[in-house]
Structure 1
Amino acid sequence: MASDGPLTEHELTTIERRAAAAAPGPWLARLDGDGRGLGGESFIQIQPGAETDDEIHLRRYAGAGQVNSRDPRLHADLEFIAAARQDVPRLVAEVRRLQAVLDRRRGGW
């Protein structure tokens, strides 16, 4: 998918399969120091409200040093990853919807 051209159906299907294979959402970034976290490390919570804890903990390193859990760069990365669980399926659906609109217009509808 290094191309700058339109996404192919194969590429969309590949993206869709990756999203479907991931743990179900919603995913929520729990950030240390923002009032939503539980103290300690920032992490991504899988299916908040579920009976069992399901979490993704990430470490970020800049050069030889580990980035602190309260670092804004780490928080931005965690929020991006958590939101991608919800965003990617919606984006794939929107690309397909827009492609269908273009196909209908090209077909003279």
Structure 2
Amino acid sequence: MELPVREEELQEIEELCSAATPGPWHVRTLNDDSAMNLVAVSTVPGAGAGERWPDFDHRDLVAATLVQHPRYVDVGDECWDENAAFVAMARDAVPRLVEEVRRLRALLADKDEGEGVSV
């Protein structure tokens, strides 16, 4: 059985979130002669599938889940799109989840103190 998340762990998660590039993040599908079939996470939404350089700014990209040619980034289960969607979603969701854990803990603490607050 997993132990509950300690406050120190929540603080570490919060610090990592604060240090990362601000969100929101978006999934981008890019394609050019240097990075064929590039699935990436970006700070700006894409204009559509298969954008080609120089029509995108590489400085907007924060992560890649597929760079097929040359084969720099690849994953055996072929979940490139799903992984990119997860990374993009996590940028906003993780800080919200940390806040929710703390909110629920405060409600439980109030309830334990006899204030009658329910979760």
Shorter-chain TM range is 0.7 to 0.9
Question: Does structure 1 residue 80 correspond to structure 2 residue 77?
Answer: no
Gap runs ≥5 in structure 1: 31-36
| Deviations 1:49-100, CA, capped at 9 Å, x for gaps | 9xx64102232232xxxx7xxx5x1111110011100100000000000000
Matched, 1:61 2:75: yes
Alignment of 1:1-109 (within 5 A): 4-30=2-28, 37-39=29-31, 40-48=37-45, 53-55=59-61, 56-58=63-65, 59-62=73-76, 71=78, 73-109=79-115
Q: Which structure is larger by alpha-carbon Rg, 1 or 2?
A: 2
Displaced runs of 4+ in structure 1, greater than 3 A? 37-40
TM-score norm. by structure 2 comes to 0.67
Alignment partner of 1:6: what SS? coil
Length-normalised TM-score, structure 1:
0.73
Matches of 2:80 and 2:89 in 1, distance apart? Answer: 14
Q: CA RMSD in A?
A: 2.1
- SS class of match (2:38): coil
The count of residues paired between Structure 1 and Structure 2 equals: 91
Give the secondary structure class of the aligned counterpart of 1:81.
helix
**Conserved 8 A contact 1:27-1:85:** yes
Instruction: Report sequence identity in percent.
Output: 37
Name whichever structure is richer in strand by fraction: 2
Aligned equivalents of 2:19, 2:89: Cα separation in 1: 16
Distance 2:45 2:21 in 1: 12
Tell me which amino acid in the other structure corresponds to 2:10: L
* SS at structure 2 position matched to 1:57: strand
